[in-house]
Chains A and B, each alone.
Chain A
Amino acid sequence: MQIERLNSFLHVNEEIPQISSFVFAKVGPFSIANTTTTIFLITLIFIVGAFFVHRFKLKPSKVQHVFEMLYETIEGFVAQLVGSKEKGEAVTPYVGAIMVYLLIANLLPMFPFISSFYLHTGSGEEFPLFRGATTDFNTTFGLALAVIIFMQFFGVKEQGFFNYISHFLQFKHVYRGFKKGIGEGFISIIGFFVGLIEIISELAKIISLSLRLFGNMFAHEVLTIILLSAFAYFVPALWMGMGVLVGVVQAIVFASLVGVYYSMATKKEEH
């Protein structure tokens, strides 16, 4: 009996989270899952943040100083990624926003009590109300899809519709190649197929972005639960500390890739 009590004190018996999030409501074509509620919570945090930022003054307070310092750090980082200060200033509201969103989304589940809210279903099952947003493939997929759509938009905006599309459908290059000669023409046909592969590459970016983030964050959550069931104290704490690092690094990696994709999409090719 005492051994059982000691066991329950030393181990946390929690179920390993399922790969799919728990859907508890449906509104039209949208399903509300427990990762969606986390995103709602994050949205609420940002709305409060927006009210706070709205009250910023010309003569800054200490907190405003911190916010501005963080902003300038992110802006400097993005400027380095995209290669110029002007482009950095233009794209920071997007790349920086993704970075901040991911930082909050990755670190929010580590706050105490966030995982203590449960939803009870009619069948007696219970699910956590808030699940780490990035531990759900649906979130990371939606995020990556939005990013790639935005990159196409920026590419078209910067280079013009036909110029940007000509990277993928290189009819003009084939025509010019054959105009120069048969050899050049056949080389341009290879270029045409490379352009088609670029389309697949754009789609692959969605998968690679979403799976990298989802894999890291979900694996971290699963390992945390496994460690908690083995040792309730110390070891999970170390792993949670590691989780902060993973969360921060993944946010930076994702934002960096977005910055690189932006540079690639807006780079004007010399013909």
Chain B
Amino acid sequence: MNIVLDVLNNLGFNWHVALANFVNFLIILYILNVFIFKKIRKQISHRDGIIKQGLTDAEQAKKDRENIEEERLSVIHKAEKEGHALIDVAHSKGEHIVADAKAKADIEADKIKGEAEKIKAQAKEDAEKEFAKEAPKIVAELTKKALKENMTGQANNELISKIA
């Protein structure tokens, strides 16, 4: 033990100074640990957290934007499809309407044509009947008139021969 103490004395060991320096070191360690190292670590971690959150948010925003873009394209595509389908339906309906109208018009026209034919035939029949009724009178009248004005003996004979 004495040898150890001798060695320590030769090295200038003084336990009072060693104790003071030990306590001072603990104070320094506390200051460095709590007020410098942990503060810097906290600041770096805080900033890292914000940067990581920012990156995550940016990634999420990118994904959302892509999803929205996909959804938009899908809606446009769907609308285009529906539009085309509507146009097709309209075309088809239009064609139907036109065909129906044409068919109706044809029927109507045929009907009118038929009626007109009927009226025409009736009129012709009526005219013929009238003519047949009135013709002898007219002929007689005309003959009478003609004979009254221009009939000579010769002409009368010729006429009679012609009629005969």
Contact = CB atoms under 8 A, between A and B. Distances in A.
B41 A71 contact: yes
Interface stretch (A121-129, A137-145, A187-195, A249-257): A137-145
Interface residues of A, number: 52
A33 B43 CA distance: 38
A42 interface: yes
A43 B27 contact: yes
Contacts of A75: 41
Contacts of A145: 18, 22
Interface of B is mostly: helix
Contacts of A21: 12, 14, 17
Most chain B C-beta atoms within 10 Å of own C-beta, residue among A21, A97, A133, A145? A97
Contacts of A93: 32-34, 37-38, 41
Contact of A43 (B14, B19, B24, B47): B24
A199 interface: no
B11 A142 contact: no
Contacts of B20: 30-33, 36, 142
A139 B16 CA distance: 11
A97 B32 contact: yes
A53 to B, nearest CB: 5
A89 B12 contact: no
Contact of B40 (A33, A71, A146): A71
Given A54-B35, A58-B43, A40 B17 contact: no
Given A137-B11, A137-B12, A56 B22 contact: no
B66 to A, nearest CB: 31
Interface residues of B, number: 36
A135 B8 CA distance: 15
Contacts of A197: none
A142 B22 contact: yes
Interface in B1-42: 8, 10-14, 16-29, 31-41
A106 interface: no
A136 B44 CA distance: 36
A4 to B, nearest CB: 35
15 contacts: A19-B11, A21-B14, A21-B17, A29-B16, A43-B28, A50-B39, A54-B35, A56-B43, A58-B43, A137-B8, A138-B13, A138-B14, A145-B18, A146-B26, A146-B29
Nearest 3 CB-CB pairings of A with B: A20-B12, A142-B22, A31-B16
Interface of A: 18-21, 23, 26, 29-33, 35-36, 39-40, 42-43, 46-47, 49-50, 53-54, 56, 58, 60, 67-68, 71-72, 75, 89, 92-94, 96-98, 100-101, 133, 136-139, 141-143, 145-146, 211, 214
Given A23-B16, A68-B44, A71-B44, 7 more contacts: A36-B17, A58-B50, A67-B40, A92-B37, A137-B8, A141-B21, A143-B22
